[in-house]
Amino acid sequence: AAAGSGCAVAVAHPNIALIKYWGKRDEEWVLPAADSLSLTLDVFPTTTGVRLAPQAAGDRVLLGGQEATGPAQARVADFLHLVRELAGRREPAVVDSRNTVPTGAGLASSASGFAALAVAAAAAYGLAADPAALSRLARRGSGSACRSLFGGFAQWHAALDAGGGAAADRVSLAEPVPAAAGLEVALVIVVVNAGPKAVSSRAAMRRTVATSPLYRPWVASSVQDLTQMRAALAAGDLNAVGEITERNALGMHATMLAARPAVRYLAPASLTALDAVLALRERGLAAYATMDAGPNVKVLCAAGQASQVAAALREAVPQASVVVARPGPGARLVAGDG
Ligand code: PMV
């Protein structure tokens, strides 16, 4: 493998889970309680440059051109430390990361962010790594990031059979999931402006796992959802894909609402969007909602009906901005050597 030119730039897109990752069985290694399955999008990419700085005193992190400090800087520095350990290197680096997500939208930026950082940092430090190894690496930064290494649909394997720790670390990664050629989907994103999130996904997961009486039953149902989702994708059955997607997300939010104290991400405008999705279905359109650790609602529909679905959501939630996304590519190096 090349020693690494010391400088690399990578691009990654966010992914939205149809079968959610919610809860870890091992915090240190970022090992999930169950498999999850997502769609990588073609909107809101993150571009991240990593340049080695042998003379610097420590890692510098620029987010959107602004110097990051505190926990944001520490999270990136911890990740670089892991890459250095794997590559047998010591030099600090300068990380320059730019999101194209509308500011404050809170849209899966940790997934695209850590996927792009994994690809760029591995190349800059000369760490030879294929997409599978980069998926494992990205997982350590943010669990959901491991799925953004791949385009289209991807499944993150929990690797429960491997137990925990280093043994499971080797096999807990994402893989592309084939779908029927005729299945052409879009994800209509309703960006609800509700200010910064009250609880981080990391803290909310921890509280849910520790206190929610609904958590274990949801995990059990999610395992079944995943099997059925794979079959629905293979069959190209959009209605089944949508039904499973929506019930899996609502179930995840139910686990949080039952946590002590409750975690509630959905805002009034989120519920208005959910009503609009129901109304679309009553009009005969295949439209199904999913929500993550924030108030935004993402609506899965047929690609050919996306503009109709987007128009209905704009009318129902006039204060939201509505963006139509399609399946997008996996994370990749755009400059520097790999
Ligand atoms: O990767 P994290 O720690 O940001 O967790 C993401 C969790 C959800 O977005 C709510 C679900 C998922 O599978 O992406």
What are the tens digits of pLDDT across the range 36-53? 999 999 999 999 999 999
Q: Output the CA 160–ligand 1 centroid distance in Å.
A: 19
Q: Output the CA 53–ligand 1 centroid distance in Å.
A: 32
Atom of ligand 1 minimally distant from the CA of 202: 3
Question: Which of 15, 18, 20 maximizes ligand 1 atoms within 8 Å of its Cβ, making it the mutation to test the pocket?
Answer: 20
- Buried b / exposed e over 131-165, threshold 16 CB at 10 Å, is bebbbbbbbbbbbbbbbbbbbbbbbbbbbbebeee
Atom of ligand 1 minimally distant from the CA of 114: 1
Atom of ligand 1 minimally distant from the CA of 111: 1
What are the tens digits of pLDDT across the range 245-302? 999 999 999 999 999 999 999 999 999 999 999 999 999 999 999 999 999 999 999 9
Instruction: Kindly indicate whether the domain formed by 7-180 is annotated with CATH number 3.30.230.10.
Output: yes
Task: Show the ligand 1 pocket: residues with CB < 6 angstroms.
Answer: 17, 20-22, 36, 110, 142-144, 201-202, 292-293
Q: Output the CA 283–ligand 1 centroid distance in Å.
A: 32
Please, where in the chain does CATH 3.30.70.890 lie?
185-325
Q: Output the CA 17–ligand 1 centroid distance in Å.
A: 8
**213-223: average pLDDT:** 98
pLDDT of residue 105: 56
DSSP classification of residue 214: T
Q: Say if the ipTM goes beyond 0.90.
A: yes
| Closest CA relative to residue 17, chosen from 161, 201, 194, 195 | 201
Label residue 101 by pLDDT band (50, 70, 90): confident
Q: Output the CA 34–ligand 1 centroid distance in Å.
A: 12
- The Cα–Cα gap between 116 and 114 comes to 5
| Closest CA relative to residue 334, chosen from 120, 126, 131, 130 | 120
Label residue 65 by pLDDT band (50, 70, 90): very high
Query: Which protein residue has the closest C-alpha to ligand 1 atom 8?
Result: 292
Q: At a CB cut-off of 8 Å and minimum separation 6, what does 89 contact?
A: 125, 126
Please, where in the chain does CATH 3.30.230.10 lie?
7-180
Q: Output the CA 201–ligand 1 centroid distance in Å.
A: 7
Helix (H, G, I), strand (E, B) or coil at 235: helix
Residue 197: pLDDT over 80: no
Query: Which protein residue has the closest C-alpha to ligand 1 atom 9?
Result: 292
What are the tens digits of pLDDT across the range 226-241? 999 999 999 999 999 9
Instruction: Kindly indicate whether the domain formed by 185-325 is annotated with CATH number 1.10.10.10.
Output: no
